[in-house]
Amino acid sequence: MNLESLDGRLLFAIPKKGRLYEKCLTLLAGADIQFRRNNRLDVCLVQNHHIALVFLPASDIPSFVGKGNVDLGITGHDVILEAQMQDLVTEELRLGFGKCALQIQVPEAGPIKTVDDLAGKRVVTSFEVLAGEYFKEIDTRLGLTEDKRTQIEYVGGSVEAACALGLADGIVDLVESGDTMRAAGLHAIATVLSTEAVLIKSSVPKHPSLTPLIDLISSRIRGVIAANRYVVCQYNISRDRLDAATAITPGRRAPTISPLEEENWVAVSSMVEKSNSAKVMDELVKIGAEDVLIFNLDNCRV
């Protein structure tokens, strides 16, 4: 594809592989962004919007959005900070997937038990900036001289093997389930930050004419995320118990309350968090609610 043909289109950067890729495809489908990506091509045109999708390594996306001509992107919160792009990009929306923690890990059977024990020793990571800033504060607090400060060394992959192979005394790496960490005989002694996937845009709009389309896509993605997070809870309750019921189901802003033909009874409809829906139903039944129903959301606008 001739990149010059992308002029005038909103450029939307998507991680080309890794832990965020499949989730991003599901998110795009939910937002009705229709495209067909040919094998080995990292740029494709959206069929129903004036958008071009650009598939890039997640670690590069903040720079392309912050410094380049890319208008929107999906990447990790940690990647933005590591690339030092937090002043050039705006986190438009946290997406609720790709959650993990950047943690300091050391051999479980070793003598190092705290970050103070690790200070002044060898640390291997693929997050040089974040690890460097973290240990700089530790070194300063402990009063370590320049020649005694923590040594941060970059490794692009297999970070978890660095201790066993004699390259490091500890590592700084992302932990999702913790299985890889435990398999390598490591355990976490501190958390540098928690992270997840985020939708980002340039802090300074590059193409003002595309702002309405950026807002539209952001709104659609926000709706998909909300639909995955919330369900609709509907029930009937007597008016004298309505205050107690609405305290259980306050909704995102307020519940919808409609009178019923039966005197002193109302129907209530409210959005509740999906993860808490069973508990909400139990509490409603305890205070006398009837016909308690839960409806899944395919999509919404909130």
- Write the CATH number for 13: 3.40.190.10
| Residue 125 parent element (H or E) | strand 122-125
On whether residue 25 sits in a domain, the answer given is yes
Strand ordering across the sheet containing 43-45: 43-45, 51-56, 10-15, 72-76, 197-202, 89-94
- List own/partner pairs for 135-138 with CB under 8 A and 24 or more apart: none
Cα 42–chain centre separation: 23
* Cα 269 from Cα 258, distance rounded (Å): 9
Same domain, 159 and 267: no
Same domain, 245 and 164: no
How many domains does the structure of the chain reveal? 3
Structure tokens belonging to residue 229: 């997070």
* Cα 113 from Cα 182, distance rounded (Å): 16
- Note down the domain range covering 278: 230-296
- Any idea what the Cα angle at residue 102 is, between residues 69 and 65, rounded to 5°? 5
Same domain, 104 and 68: no
On whether residue 216 sits in a domain, the answer given is no
Nearest to 234 by CA among 260, 204, 209: 260
On whether residue 191 sits in a domain, the answer given is yes
CA distances from 24 to 14, 29, 84 (A): 7, 9, 23
Same domain, 83 and 111: no
On whether residue 219 sits in a domain, the answer given is no
Q: Mean pLDDT score of the chain, rounded to an integer?
A: 92
In the numeric block, the tokens 């071009």 are attached to 52
What CATH code is carried by the domain that includes residue 261? Answer: 3.30.70.120
* Cα 140 from Cα 142, distance rounded (Å): 5
On whether residue 224 sits in a domain, the answer given is no
pLDDT at 5: 57
Query: 73-110 in b/e burial notation, b at 16+ Cβ within 10 A?
Result: bbbbbbbbbbbebeebbbebbebbbbebbbbbbbbeee
Query: Average pLDDT per run of 10 along the chain, which is 302 residues long?
Result: 67 90 92 86 91 94 95 96 96 93 94 94 96 95 92 91 93 91 93 96 91 95 93 96 96 92 94 95 96 92 80
pLDDT at 4: 52
138-149: pLDDT as tens digits: 999 999 998 899
On whether residue 21 sits in a domain, the answer given is yes
From 195, 220, 250, the end of a domain falls on 195
**What DSSP letter does each residue of 222-249 carry, written as one string?**
HHHHHHHHEEEEEEEEEGGGHHHHHHH-
Contact assessment for residue 100 and residue 120, using Cβ atoms and an 8 Å cutoff: no
